[in-house]
Amino acid sequence: MSTTLADLVAQLDAFRDATLAQLAVADSLDALEAVRASSVGRTRGALNDYKAQLPKLAGADKPTFGARFNAVKVELEAAIDARHAALSASAPAAAALDLSMPARRQWRGAKHPVTIVLEEIEGIFRDLGFTIATGPEAEHEWYNFGALNFPPDHPAMDMHDTLYLERGGLLRTHTSPVQIRTLQSYPPPIRIIAPGNVFRRDFFDASHAPMFAQIEGMAVDEGISFVDLKATLANFANRFFGETKTRFRPSFFPFTEPSAEMDVACRICNGAGCATCKQTGWVEILGCGMMHPAVLESAGVDSQKYSGWAFGMGPARMALQRFGIPDIRIQYDSDIAFLEQFAQ
């Protein structure tokens, strides 16, 4: 290395410029620390080499170079500190990166159990030759009660059970009005199912809700008998639940005669008796019966020529059985932990 003052100062300035250039491209704290160590570092810093030249200079030049050396050292240290501050401020995320954190979850929507059950029931009845019909939720009193042979003083029409609207309107309490609407529009032979929501001012307990889904079914043709009804529904139950025991109990509805309710063996306890089946081993899933001649007549169908059967079933109750859910209310809770179990 040259020992003249001018040469030494030129080399010192070149070193300073090269170090500042390295600082400008140091893009991480690690890179910056490497530059610090190789330039102003106490043990490995190249700046020390210039200080080592001092004794070789002429006496008068020593203080001049010494001052110059100190100025470069102060400048470089300040530049390194400034770069350090800039890099720490701009890279906090990189510094805080926690590779042990669990990955972000991919949420996938799931169908509600009642929707799954509705779609399955529709599929089974489609296979059996039924078509889907619909009717309005806000219904006229006549379609909901009168046309279905309810006497005017029937308790179901009580304000406590039915949600009334203005001018003879109400929220339908069952899907049976779709029987009348369908027969008014299409001549027999006809086989339909009609899924939809119904409304009752029921209290909310383990098996009752104020709004729930129903599926109505109806078949009208010449010579239709109770045998067709029983065979179709037992066949349906086997398809829906897998081989299952069914039983028909006599019942009463104003719009069917004779009337029955169909039970399936409780799947939660396998017929042994539990809270869901109220210790009976059986669960009612639908009401049914032969359509009352008065109902056919009010829909404009000749009851001498035609006969028919109808049923109404509760898919929410069937979902309890199908999926082993102990309480119907959880289906209305919008509880993600419950609902996501049904993701397919």
Binding footprint of ligand PHE on the chain (CB under 6 A): 174, 176, 253, 256, 287-289, 310-312
**Least distance (Å) between residue 171 CB and ligand PHE:** 13
**Least distance (Å) between residue 226 CB and ligand PHE:** 12
How far from 58 is each of 53, 69, 97, 170, 274, CA to CA, in Å? 11, 16, 55, 112, 108
Is the sign of the CA dihedral 318, 323, 328, 330 positive or negative?
negative
**Least distance (Å) between residue 175 CB and ligand PHE:** 7
Q: Of the two residues 173 and 331, which places its CB atom closer to ligand PHE in the complex?
A: 173
Q: Of the two residues 19 and 179, which places its CB atom closer to ligand PHE in the complex?
A: 179
**Least distance (Å) between residue 160 CB and ligand PHE:** 16
Q: Of the two residues 224 and 288, which places its CB atom closer to ligand PHE in the complex?
A: 288
Q: Of the two residues 72 and 295, which places its CB atom closer to ligand PHE in the complex?
A: 295
Give the residue nearest to ligand PHE (CB). 312
Q: Of the two residues 73 and 172, which places its CB atom closer to ligand PHE in the complex?
A: 172
N-terminal to C-terminal alpha carbon distance within the chain: 78
**Least distance (Å) between residue 290 CB and ligand PHE:** 9
**Least distance (Å) between residue 168 CB and ligand PHE:** 20
Q: Of the two residues 69 and 311, which places its CB atom closer to ligand PHE in the complex?
A: 311
CA angle 114, 112, 120 (to 5 degrees): 50
Q: Of the two residues 65 and 311, which places its CB atom closer to ligand PHE in the complex?
A: 311
Task: Determine the Cα–Cα distance for residues 337 and 335; give it in Å rounded to an integer.
Answer: 6
**Least distance (Å) between residue 148 CB and ligand PHE:** 8
CA angle 328, 334, 336 (to 5 degrees): 110
Neighbouring C-beta atoms of residue 32, cutoff 10 Å: 20
Is the sign of the CA dihedral 273, 274, 280, 284 positive or negative?
negative
**Least distance (Å) between residue 293 CB and ligand PHE:** 14
Q: Of the two residues 174 and 191, which places its CB atom closer to ligand PHE in the complex?
A: 174
Neighbouring C-beta atoms of residue 126, cutoff 10 Å: 12
**Least distance (Å) between residue 314 CB and ligand PHE:** 8
Q: Of the two residues 73 and 174, which places its CB atom closer to ligand PHE in the complex?
A: 174
Strands 256-265 and 190-199: what pairing?
A: unpaired
